[in-house]
Amino acid sequence: MGYLQKYLQGVGLVSTLLFVGVLAGLTAPLPSEAGTPTLKLKVDSGTDTSILITTSSTCTTTERSAGFTACYAINTNLTVAGLGAVGGVQRSYNVRNAPGATARLRVGDNAGGDKFSLIGVQFIPAVTNWGSAAANTNETHKLTITTSQTFDSAVNVANAGNYVWAMRAGGEFRAGPTTSNACAGNGTATGACNNLQNSVTFPGKGTFSPALQSVNILRPSGANSQPLSLTVAGPTAAIVSFNGLSNTTLGQVNPTYPTFLCDQDGTVSGNICKPAYNATMTVTLKGPDSFVLVNGDDAVGAHCTIAEVSATQERRIAFLTNLLGFLQWLEGRYPNRPHLSAFIDRLEAFLATVNSPATDPPDCAAGVRSVNIEFATAAALDQIAFMASGAVPVEPAPQAPETGTITITKNTSGPGGGETSDTFTFNISGPSPSTQTIPMGGANSGSTVVTVNVGTYSITELPIAGWQETSASCGEGGGVSTDEVVVVAGGNVTCTFNNTSYFIRISKQLSFCDGACPSLIFNFHIVGPTTTDATVETNGEGVGDVIVPVEAGTYSIEEFNNPANWHFGSSNCSGVGVGGNPATGIFVPPLASSGGAACHFTNNFD
């Protein structure tokens, strides 16, 4: 509440006591008990250390009025030692209250709705002066904050069915002490601040039934991606805030959330629901910066049959609406305040999300509405805290696009089993365009796997001399066109291209040998789309042949420079019949052929 009091007193909105009273009436109390949560901090590769005081779980009147049923203090006198830091410098971090706040972990284990909220805690390097400029530049430390909670109160276990779940976070990076005294925002005088190059990732998982064990709470795509992440890389600033991580305005109007069937038996017939939530927030700090969690770890679940809009939720919406009206009035009195204008814009977006009918998932509109109201309120309170501390808001780094794979398989057939050392080339058109090759390496089958962004693709094979594409298809059973390849997140689509080689087989027969035929070499000149020369060597039986790869088209073949005394006798070619020398009108591939034409030449001795 300290953040709120500081801001509201500063702008003269209402008295501190009145504002506390407004918040206290936002939701009705639903008393119950939940299983004891866990909250641990690890610095770099050090030991997981509990920072939670569990001797009491008593909630204040205000917290109970906000729907929390068990509330815990944080050990803000604790120092957690680090181990195995990047760069070899070990640091410890102090666990402290955030400025003007009291660190708390609150749990709401209620019929039809659960929530988990970590607020008002700060992690500060346990050093008054970080050291050299090189340390500011090179030292990187990782804070791992793990939380878990099982919602198993009596009012919850008899509430099996479909739930919608979501999660968010809000906090600040504060530049820390350097060689020139210290930076503003760390409790000391202004000095030289280092560039903020920090990041946060925040995946969360839930267990809802025997069939749903440790599943991602966030969708793998859409407004709530997995994991949430934020990166801040300069410019230099004393305090930088983030809100909602990758969902600075709850993502969009009508964000999409996943639903989960919550039941110990896996079906609603068991009528026992004990959802479990766990999350790991990984914070990477560059240099001496501190990390503040305002609403640092928020998770909310709502039953799909929860009342569409309860009276308490209506009061929350009214609170946000009235706050927006006051801030708009304030902006008129004190114009040209960019942070105030930015807050108003975000608050308008929060209300647009809350007031729009939820459409995804379509069978859980009431649950989605409930989650949106919780998050809109938390996000608004975050923004008040950020304004009170003078934090500079930042937008999150863009999420890496979701990916799947395309497997391209190439099969070849023809003389010699189709084995070839050729390399086949494919163009992939779509969100991730590329050119891929498959070197056959003397085989008749090969493949390559390509990672691509999700979307629709077209795959084409580039022509190669001597080969004819006989078929190409994609998907299971080959029922998908190569022009309509749809890749989904984490999925794979296989596309198979079959080729038969184009060729001309030239065979030679010697007639009237006196005894065993001599080994002779005959020369042929091939003219057409592929113009080349070929040789045929005969054996002791007077026969021989050669296979010549060619492109499709019409050819003529002429025998020339024959061995002495061996004269042309006749030619007989596919689709042409008996002919002379040169044999003409030879078409490759001929009708009813797998890709090759054949020409037989005879020679006589005289």
Report the alpha-carbon angle 283-286-290, nearest 5: 65
Provide the CB-side half-sphere exposure for 520 (13 A, CA).
Answer: 23
Q: In the beta sheet, which residues pair with residue 22?
A: none
Q: What is the pLDDT of residue 48?
A: 95
Q: Which of 113 and 87 is assigned the larger pLDDT?
A: 113
H-helix or E-strand containing 145? strand 140-150
Distances (CA, A) of 115 to 253, 374, 457: 22, 9, 42
User: How much is the pLDDT for 400?
Assistant: 62
Least Cα distance to 141 among 91, 81, 204, 195 occurs for: 91
Place of tokens 């086949």: 424
Tell me the three state secondary structure of residue 516: coil
Write out pLDDT tens, residues 429-446: 999 999 999 999 989 999
What average pLDDT is seen over the chain? 77
pLDDT value, residue 228: 63
Q: Can you state the angle between helices 365-389 and 2-11, rounded to 10 degrees?
A: 70
As a CATH number, domain 503-605 is: 2.60.40
Indicate whether 191 pLDDT > 50: no
Neighbour-count burial of 486, counting CB atoms closer than 10 A to its CB (0-12 exposed, 13-18 middle, 19+ buried):
middle
Q: Which spans in 25-138 are helix H? A: 61-65, 133-138
User: Does 512 or 141 have the greater pLDDT score?
Assistant: 141
In the chain, the N- to C-terminal Cα span, in Å, equals 115
Q: Between the CA atoms of 429, 430, 431 and 432, what dihedral angle is there, to the nearest 10 degrees?
A: -30
CA–CA separation, 227 and 247 (whole Å): 11
* 503-605 and 403-501 share a CATH fold: yes
Closest by Cα among 408, 413, 592 to 496: 408
The pLDDT of residue 21 = 28
Is residue 62's pLDDT more than 90?
no
- In the CATH scheme, what is the code of domain 403-501? 2.60.40
The model carries a pTM of 0.60
Which residue type occupies 414? G
* Percentage of the chain modeled with pLDDT above 70: 73
Query: Do the beta carbons of residue 284 and residue 180 sit within 8 Å?
Result: no
Q: Cα separation of 131 and 180, whole Å?
A: 9
pLDDT digits over 330-339, tens only? 778 777 666 6
Token readout for 431 is 């969100």
pLDDT at residue 324, as a whole number? 80
> Using one digit for the tens of pLDDT, what is the confidence trace for 279-332?
898 888 877 788 888 876 788 888 888 766 666 677 777 877 887 888 788 778
Contact 95, 121 (CB under 8 A): yes
Q: Where are the domains of the chain?
A: 2-393, 403-501, 503-605
Q: How high is the pLDDT of residue 137? A: 54
Could you tell me the pLDDT band of residue 360, with boundaries at 50, 70 and 90? low
Kind of pairing between the strands at 49-50 and 38-44: antiparallel
